[in-house]
Structures are given as C-alpha cells and as structure tokens.
Structure 1
C-alpha cells in the first residue's frame, strides 16, 4: 500500500537524522554549501574596536582643532589626550581613545594644521559589539553555509569551522536499452539521468562519488553494482523499481538484507519510488526509470534524506499562486511542473513522465494534495527545483 507523500518525506528525513554523518573541520573557503555541525558564535566583539564610518577628523572637545596626526585603516590609533586636538581618520580606521566626535571631510575646512567644522549629532563611528557581542550565536547548527556566512565568520576571526561531511552519493543506472553516446536507434535510447542527476545532487549539497551506467538487466549485475557502491552514504538507482520481468532492484535488495524505510509512495508521477537501508548502513534510494519520475523521486525522498544525514532542517514547502488550472490525481498527491510568469506560476507543457522538455524549462513543482485540484489564483504548496 503506497504511503502518503508527506509521511514518506518525514520518514526518510528521520532515518537520516538517526544516521548522522561525521563532523569535519574545514577551511572557510572550503565550507560553502556544507552544514554547520555546531553553532557559529562570535570569537570577539564585532567590531572588535570602535571604527570610523566616514573619512574625516577625530576631534576632542570643541573646535577649531589642531591636527596632530593621522590614523588609517589597519593601524593602531594613539589617544587624543588634550582638548582642541584632532587626528585625520579614514573610513574603517580605529577611533582614538578620547574622541568626542568625528567631523566629515566634506563638512570641514582646514588651514595648515587647524581644522574647523560642525560635527553631526549622531556619532560617526561603529561601537564595539554593535553588530554582535563576543560569544553571541549567529547561526545554529544545521544551517547550510553560504558566501555571506563565510565572510561573517572571517570577520569574527575564524580560519576554519566544524561542519557535517558532505553526503557521498553513488548513482547506478539500470537498463539494457540505454546508450551513453550517439543518437538513439535500434530500440535503444540515450541515458539522460546519468549525466543529469549528479548535477542535481551537487546542488543539493552532495558529492556524487561514483556513476555506473548502464548496468545490465540481470540480478547478478544489480547485486554486484550495489556491492561496488557501498562506500557511499546513499546509493541512487534509476529504473527497476517495479516488479516486471527485468526489474531486479527489489530481489537484489532482498538478497543483501535491506530494510525498507519507504516502499512506494502515493504520488504521481513516480509512485514506485523507495528508500531502504543495507546492513552496511548505506541507504538505497530507488528512483523510477522515467526521467521526470526520477527527478520527482529525487526531490521527494533523496532531498529530505540528505538533509537528515547532515542535521539540516527538514526541507519546507513554500507557497505560490497558480496562473492556470492543475488537475488532481485522485488518491495521489500530484507534483505538477510549473514555471514562473510575472507574479503567477503556470503549468508547464511537455510533462509526461518520460519527457524532459517541460522539466528543463520549469522552476519546480506545484503540490496538489490527494482529492484536490488547483485553480487559477489559488495558492498551493511549491517544491522548488535545486
């Protein structure tokens, strides 16, 4: 009996949480796209010392002021100890102790070593800890690192951070009918998933460490390929998820003692998707062989599984407004390809489960729940393609 789509996503996410990947320490420049293994907290006040927001003069007391020096960004500022003195200052430079105001260059006049002007009422410098105090948590564990976070961590003094190792994924493409180069002919078709799925997986934060394609449609070949891929955290397979004469995935998993987490999902397209776990601890995600169905399965089950393994939050659905009707699929959740046009999302064309044209021009899937349908102007859940 197929499991509800949302329940299936929760089940594989929880399975991932129960099998966390190891924590590794990486240089900041290598951390983009990885997931924090511990909270990112400031190592110092940010900024660590008062810094000027403008080019001008740091002054003490009332003017006119006698300029006694200059402080530039990157230098340590001497103190202003006497009233009526000033120090030329650059944006980002350390504000001298004893400064009572900063006069902007464009709002001052200077003759020789004397400068005069009117300070603004609001201080023209950043106070220590204005952005964050030492020890303050900036991002919790489970947050995926982005370039802005890398820059922030560097500004706090980090050289490296602790993250979850990227999931290692192997891809096994089953099918005697598949060609890996040249034009389709003589009953054989080009393998579209072997070239495409590694890029999807990379955008989902995984390392695709092995691709074996095509694998012949025999039980022995299926078992051998699964055994070769066991060094991966997750093995994604394409095709063979049904019970036809050349569908050997389930018998291969049974021979290896796999335990099913999800076995068929009440979703269209792609319902014969599944996730199991081998005795070695490797997860196997069985994706249907039809290209669009395979991507539906990837987004439905592999995405939450990878999130769980890294401790990232369970992937959430957003909401979009439909610009055209989307049919329901009875007892099944319908994932319908849509693309954005101005402020609405319209159903894509060429969306058969074996087609790629509609997928290539779409931004994600409108989620139509069981026994429902989508109408123009209606808000529905949305699953974005990576």
Structure 2
C-alpha cells in the first residue's frame, strides 16, 4: 500500500479518462464476474434472528427446475359434487371421496360423492357439480344435461408432465417458485450463492437523523440502497465514512464482500478521494465515467482481493442511475440470475440529451411513458411515483416516434 505521508506523494488517477456509452458500461459490469458456485438449499425453514435465511428464497436456480411427476399426478375432481360413471341418472353408492383417499372403482351407472381435489375413482367419467345434481333417495339426476366425458375433472398431467422443464436455470426463486418446486416433488433446490455486498456511504455533510440543518443533509442513500441490494445480495455491512482518504482506503482494503459499493467521491472535487484510494490499493478501473445523465461520474473497479467495487455518485437520483447501470448487472451475474427483459412503452413528452443516454423516472399509463416532475440528480420525489426509468438514447432533437425501453424498479 502506498504511503500518504509527507515526502511520498500519493498516486493520482485522472478520473473520466475513458467515458463509456451506457450500453457498453452495463455490458462491462455484467462481464466483470462469473456466477458464484452452486449449493443446495431447502425450500423452507425458520430464518434465524441474526443471520439470513438458509432457504433457497431469492437465490437463482443453478439448474433447470424439472418436474419429478405429472401434475396433477392423478385425475382429480375440480368441484364438490359427485363422481359419475357414464350417462345419468346414476345410483348412489354411499359415502364420499375426500382429498387423500384411495377410492374404490366405480361401476357404470354409479355415482359417489366427491370433494374438490379428491382423486377420481377408477371408472368415473366425469364430475357432476353439487349445484347441478338432484338426489331422490338413492338416485342422482343431472339438472343441466349435455354432459361430456372429463367434465369438471382436472386430468393427470394437465399442468405438466414428468421430466418437463418448468423453469430455466437463472430464474430467481420467488415464493411462487418455492410453491411450484414443492408441488413438483422437491425438498431442496440447487441455487447459486448470493454475492455479498458492503455499502460505504461517504460524506462529512450527512446526518443520520432529524431534518437537514446547519448546511448538512440527511443520508437518503442508506435507507434506499440497503433494502434494494438485499433483493439480490447479502448485505454484510453499511457504514458512513468521513471524507478522508485514509479512512476510505482502509475500509475498502478491509472489506471481505464480493462487491463493495461506495456513494460519493467519484468525481474530481477537493474531497473526492475514491480514485486515489483505488490507485493506492492497486485496483484496476474497468469503467471510469459513463455517458449517462444523471450519474455520469460512476465507476467500476477490480480490487486486488478479487472483489469488485462500484462507485456511485453522491446525488440520490444519480446514485440510482449507477445502481441500474453498474451494480445490478454485476450482482445479477455473480448471483447467476438471468438478464431481465425490460419492458417497452411509447415515448411521451421525453427529452433526450444530445451526447448521453438519459434515465428518466416515468409513469406508464395506457402504454405511454410520461416523465415525472422532480427528476433532477439530487431529487428522489419523482422516483417515489415512478413505474420505471425510461432509457433515452442520445439525440440532438426530439425522440423519433416509437417505443422506449423502461427499466423496472424493484418496488414498481
């Protein structure tokens, strides 16, 4: 590590030496790592009060989810009523078939009561809904008529067949995926390890409580970024640091996270020490400024430890731009997640920048993306109402008619 004492000048790195396009920067971030190793995790289990849940939830599938059985695995009743064999009227055999039963065969012309989800007796041809039947002694009549074989029956294999690929590798395990996996016969899933992330929030001007005062402002990034990052990473720490080179360099050097994320200090101001700290640590810059508004002074570096560092600008909306441009593509790749297909919408009153991609908080109504007010780099008000961020390619004039890409937001 280089000394910063008098007589030993610290290395100086000129920021923004090679500005990348927005598309190129995202691709570089995605290519800056490989999916972390696979592990098997249970579908359910009580999470610890002090550690992340050990289940597969929120991880990415490391292998396709393949059905281990037909679903349903047997013909079942879709309604409460009677299982019937052949055309009516029918003779009632007595009793009722419930879910979990192993029913006896049904002879032609017979009927037996059945509950929704119960297995269809061998020999049954359809189900008569309770509201469509009339019982007279031991006889059952159809009040509606026009019956067909298989009516109100969920046939075996209707949802999937054994061996069918239900979900591809790279799919994020949601609560719905856990339910599907359980239905398909799984107790554990093979998933990629989630990357670890540490957030370092820089700035002497930041307050941790109360309203802004005495020239200082609230730290708005920690409350927003930590839960955002938790969606795809295990956040192992969040610290606020002063605008001091030594403190920043030591915090980066000491971190064991797969990805260190910093806020602020990415430009070339008098207290912007990130470039110098990275140079002293021997880091390699992969991205150093991006042609995007807001947020152009963002960066991505490879640390000597093998980890990565994403430097976000300090202004709140600019930091959001850095997250979607560099942090999320990198974290998704490390976590083995498939690339998200962004939605499109028709462009409303959206104004591009002549030389940079613009990311604009928008509302999407009736398929049209309209900009929200309060979309400046230091503002979050527009983002709170946004359905996503419209991606406006550089243009000297108004956007041509057509669709624009809209990046999803985790809370949208």
* TM-score, normalised relative to structure 1: 0.91
**1:26 alignment partner in structure 2:** 42
Which residue of 339, 345, 351 maps to 2:369? 345
Contact 2:59 2:172 in 1 (8 A): yes
Tell me the distance in 2 between the aligned counterparts of 1:187 and 1:62: 84
In structure 2, the CA distance between the partners of 1:110 and 1:187, relative to structure 1 (3 Å rule), is: closer
In structure 2, the CA distance between the partners of 1:20 and 1:116, relative to structure 1 (3 Å rule), is: same
Contact 1:367 1:380 in 2 (8 A): yes
**2:314 alignment partner in structure 1:** 289
Shift of 1:377: 6.2
Contact 2:41 2:56 in 1 (8 A): no
Tell me the distance in 2 between the aligned counterparts of 1:254 and 1:95: 71
- Residue correspondence of structure 1 range 64-79 to structure 2 within 5 A: 64-68=89-93, 69-79=95-105
In structure 2, the CA distance between the partners of 1:65 and 1:315, relative to structure 1 (3 Å rule), is: closer
After superposition, give the CA deviation of every residue in 1:63-100 in whole Å (9 maximum; x if it has no partner).
Answer: 443322321112111122x4333222122111111223
Q: Is 2:333 aligned against 1:308? A: yes
Tell me the distance in 2 between the aligned counterparts of 1:309 and 1:365: 23
In structure 2, the CA distance between the partners of 1:155 and 1:350, relative to structure 1 (3 Å rule), is: same
Tell me the distance in 1 between the aligned counterparts of 2:298 and 2:206: 20
Tell me the distance in 2 between the aligned counterparts of 1:278 and 1:128: 54
- Residue correspondence of structure 1 range 1-386 to structure 2 within 5 A: 1-16=18-33, 18-28=34-44, 30-68=55-93, 69-80=95-106, 82-117=107-142, 118=145, 120-124=147-151, 125-202=153-230, 204-213=231-240, 215-230=241-256, 232-326=257-351, 328-341=352-365, 343-375=367-399, 378-386=402-410
Contact 2:36 2:195 in 1 (8 A): no
- Structure 1, unaligned stretches of length 5 or more? none
Number of matched pairs:
380
Shift of 1:119: 6.6
In structure 2, the CA distance between the partners of 1:104 and 1:346, relative to structure 1 (3 Å rule), is: closer
Tell me the distance in 1 between the aligned counterparts of 2:338 and 2:193: 16
Tell me the distance in 1 between the aligned counterparts of 2:244 and 2:105: 81
Tell me the distance in 2 between the aligned counterparts of 1:385 and 1:281: 29
Tell me the distance in 2 between the aligned counterparts of 1:337 and 1:86: 61
After superposition, give the CA deviation of every residue in 1:255-279 in whole Å (9 maximum; x if it has no partner).
Answer: 2222222221111111111111212
- Structure 2, unaligned stretches of length 5 or more? 1-17, 46-54
After superposition, give the CA deviation of every residue in 1:279-329 in whole Å (9 maximum; x if it has no partner).
Answer: 222211000111111111011111111111122222333212233241x22
After superposition, give the CA deviation of every residue in 1:315-357 in whole Å (9 maximum; x if it has no partner).
Answer: 333212233241x222211112222355532222222212222
In structure 2, the CA distance between the partners of 1:217 and 1:344, relative to structure 1 (3 Å rule), is: same
Tell me the distance in 2 between the aligned counterparts of 1:110 and 1:189: 76
* TM-score, normalised relative to structure 2: 0.85
Tell me the distance in 1 between the aligned counterparts of 2:73 and 2:168: 22
Shift of 1:211: 0.5
Shift of 1:175: 1.4
In structure 2, the CA distance between the partners of 1:372 and 1:309, relative to structure 1 (3 Å rule), is: farther
Shift of 1:378: 4.4
After superposition, give the CA deviation of every residue in 1:189-216 in whole Å (9 maximum; x if it has no partner).
Answer: 22211222112223x4223221001x12
Tell me the distance in 2 between the aligned counterparts of 1:132 and 1:323: 42
SS in 2 for 1:15: coil
In structure 2, the CA distance between the partners of 1:24 and 1:247, relative to structure 1 (3 Å rule), is: farther
Root mean square deviation, CA, Å: 2.2
Tell me the distance in 1 between the aligned counterparts of 2:373 and 2:126: 64
Contact 2:125 2:149 in 1 (8 A): no
